[in-house]
A and B are shown apart, each in its own frame.
Chain A
Amino acid sequence: MSETTTTTTHSPFLQHHYAEMEQQVDAGKIGMWLFLVTEILLFGGLFVGFAIMSGQHHDAFRLAHEHLSRPLGALNTVILLVSSFTMVMAVHSARHSRQKALVRCLAATIALAGAFLVVKYFEYSHKFHDGLLPGRFYAAGGPEPAGQAMFFSFYFMMTGLHGLHILGGMIVLTWLLVRSRRGHFSSAYYAPVDLGGLYWHLVDMIWIYLFPLLYLIG
């Protein structure tokens, strides 16, 4: 196929159906933002369901949420906020071709994500131990057990789905780490780090709303 385009050396990462890298990067950003919006609507459904049920079972939800550990929730919030910082620093490093800093920031983000999951593990163990389980498995008694059970259903669904996204994010970030160590990214091409970062910030954003709704208000 003959093309009368410029003969500048293309990045090895320029895909054949794009004329320029900028076009490819822009398209990738649009695609990622569209995907993030689908995540917002997916979690949004859970938030709306929670809001409606909270309105209908106000007292039960308030009682139930007292069982959540505010310190641990706040700790996890801080962990994720810092991980968002390390992530944006990773993108910054890639954009300035600072390979070592990029690798370190990605590793830090992954480590913080792991820490988040460890904290969640302790929280979940505590709930299991106390019988504070979703739906039909709720065994903790107390006033308004049906409403409290429903609160914990939402607690586990929302934090569980969020946790799965953290895990998915860790996998993506690990892959980015591997590629970074192979020297794929520099100021000429760092789109995957950028896009991975966008995903990670969204996961952080969802927790920014989950924390007050579940832990502080109920």
Chain B
Amino acid sequence: MSSTHGDYLHEPKGWRSWLFTLDHKRIGVLYFWSTLAAFVLGGILAMLIRMELLTPKSDLLPADTYNKVFTLHGAIMIFLFIIPAIPAAFGNFVLPLMLGAKDVAFPRLNLASYYLYVAGTLILLGGILGGGIDTGWTFYTPYSSTTGGTVSLMVFGVFVLGFSSIFTGINFIATIHKLRAPGMNWFRLPLFAWGTYATAIIQVMATPVLGITLLLLIMERVFRIGIFDPKLGGDPVLFQHFFWFYSHPAVYIMILPGMAIISEVIPVFSRKTIFGYKAIAYSSLAIALISFLVWGHHMFISGQSQLASAVFSFLTFLVAIPSGIKIWNWLATMYKGSIKLDAPMIYAVMFLALFAIGGLTGLFLGALSTDVHLTDTYFVVAHFHYVMVGGTFIAYLAGVHYWWPKMFGRMYSEKMARLAGALVFIGFNLTFLSQFLMGSRGMPRRYASYVQDFQPMHVLSTVGSWILALGLFLILGYLLVSLRKKPDAPANPWGGATLEWETPSPPPPHNFDRTPVPTHGPYDYDREPALV
């Protein structure tokens, strides 16, 4: 049963109650709309990039401006959208409900985390308005430590955002350890919780190193310390070590929550318990831990020692194994299941295909000998868009369509969802598939102009981006339209077995009237015929 009164969206009332809220659900919603706004901004920049690349010459944007556009596209998408979005929006909203808890461990820290996100965003916007930067989102020295522009300001903004991420991670680890409902032991946890936990480990352990890296960069610019500047006795490759020690695990901050969503959606829409629960749970931890051992694969041609390159290449192959385990287990879950292709499942299946491509192409890049030819080409660009967009963003869309009824109490148009899904799939592949080909034939990344031969594939890619954008606008459209209806979502529209479905849609502020006691596992459709 749902109502417009007494749910967390309406109680307590007033804008001040939102500004100072300690309710994890409200904080999740704040994060949801904020990260979505950032995604739109980053997306506009992406469209600009693709427009410029329609023609071989740098005619729409001068090269210097183009450099700023791709830098900002990367920085905004990574730091303002893809790292925070799933954990801070869905993790915040859903995790306590799934655990049978009333809130996260540290609600005030949670609110602080959101305000740090806002502060970091404002600082970044200030940097953009002040002229922006053209260093690439990777800020490599000595260019970033010596060039003009608002580098220090932007970098400080990212520093602030890092703390937002750290606080979220601290909160989730403590929450999962201490706020599980009685009877919810570790192996009764939904896999979304395991994925969130693994992500939180990375957030806590890796982000501080980014923090010190950015501070050192600012110190380089202000004081000319020299640590990263060869002219002053420093080592620019050292900057890359510092930067990638965070930024490689960061990509697992991006994908683990996405995988966690897929682990939720597939069993529900296959009406079958997850295959290999423990394997998936442990593989999340394994990915988190191994992710810290492989960062040098971003630096194969930067001048690091041959020994280091060989070691990092070998370790990189290890990290593919737990990811592979997950894919096999998801497929095995679907096998002989009773598949229902509602919107969340459409995106989940899309994820399997696109993440498989993205992950496999990562192997080409992880292999030292092939990477030497593919690095800094469009092959890399295609690879990371397949895993980040085809993987994480598609999983995010699965999550949006799965939890929308719970968060906002409304069902959306399934027909429109299917149309949009088709456009997204076609548009995405058209945009990025050709980039693998271009890259392997030598099209460099971050170039505003290119050799005439590449134009046909660039045109294909740009047209694909328009189709993708259309699909995404459609999604935004029908979701917003759904908000204008009267609330019509049942407590459990999908027949899920995790605890968030045992409370009204949308939930009351206190989540549960009585502390739920889980008597079955999170995917026990076999044992709970009432759910089928």
> Which chain B positions have C-beta within 8 A of A154?
225
Q: A6 in the interface, Cβ–Cβ < 8 Å? A: no
The CA of A136 and the CA of B118, in the complex, are separated in Å by 34
The CA of A69 and the CA of B213, in the complex, are separated in Å by 29
The CA of A28 and the CA of B161, in the complex, are separated in Å by 23
A31 touches B170 (CB 8 A): yes
B227 to chain A, nearest CB (A): 6
8 A Cβ contacts from A93-119 to B:
none
Interface core residue of A3, A41, A42, A52 (most chain B CB under 10 Å): A41
Given contacts A27-B174, A146-B232, A157-B219, contact A41 B205 (CB under 8 A): yes
Given contacts A37-B205, A45-B242, A53-B227, contact A153 B219 (CB under 8 A): yes
B227 touches A31 (CB 8 A): no
Q: B106 in the interface, Cβ–Cβ < 8 Å? A: yes
Q: A137 in the interface, Cβ–Cβ < 8 Å? A: yes
Q: A203 in the interface, Cβ–Cβ < 8 Å? A: no
Interface string of A24-44 (1 = CB under 8 A from B): 001110110011011111111
Identify the stretch in B43-51, B97-105, B301-309 within 8 Å (CB) of chain A at 4 or more residues: B97-105
Q: B116 in the interface, Cβ–Cβ < 8 Å? A: no
Residue of B nearest to A38 (CB): B208
B179 touches A150 (CB 8 A): no
> Which chain A positions have C-beta within 8 A of B527?
none
Q: B166 in the interface, Cβ–Cβ < 8 Å? A: yes
Residue of A nearest to B219 (CB): A157
> Which chain B positions have C-beta within 8 A of A135?
219, 223-226, 232
Interface residues on A, range: 35 or more
> Which chain B positions have C-beta within 8 A of A44?
208-209, 212
> Which chain B positions have C-beta within 8 A of A4?
514
B202 to chain A, nearest CB (A): 12
B107 touches A2 (CB 8 A): no
Given contacts A17-B107, A30-B178, A31-B171, contact A49 B233 (CB under 8 A): no
A134 touches B227 (CB 8 A): no
The CA of A27 and the CA of B174, in the complex, are separated in Å by 6
Q: A1 in the interface, Cβ–Cβ < 8 Å? A: yes
> Which chain A positions have C-beta within 8 A of B77?
none
* Cβ-neighbour of B173 out of A30, A39, A41, A137 (below 8 A): A30
> Which chain A positions have C-beta within 8 A of B219?
134-135, 153, 157
> Which chain B positions have C-beta within 8 A of A149?
226
> Which chain A positions have C-beta within 8 A of B233?
53, 56-57, 146-147, 150
A194 to chain B, nearest CB (A): 15
A49 touches B216 (CB 8 A): yes
A30 touches B174 (CB 8 A): yes
A49 touches B242 (CB 8 A): yes
A42 touches B514 (CB 8 A): no
Q: A46 in the interface, Cβ–Cβ < 8 Å? A: yes
Spell out A's residues near B (CB within 8 Å): 1-4, 15-19, 23, 26-28, 30-31, 34-35, 37-46, 49, 52-53, 56-57, 134-137, 146-147, 149-150, 153-154, 157
In the complex, 20 of the A-B residue pairs with CB atoms within 8 angstroms, ordered by the A residue number, are A3-B515, A16-B103, A17-B102, A17-B103, A23-B179, A27-B105, A31-B106, A31-B109, A34-B169, A37-B205, A45-B211, A45-B213, A45-B242, A46-B212, A46-B216, A149-B226, A150-B226, A150-B234, A153-B223, A154-B225
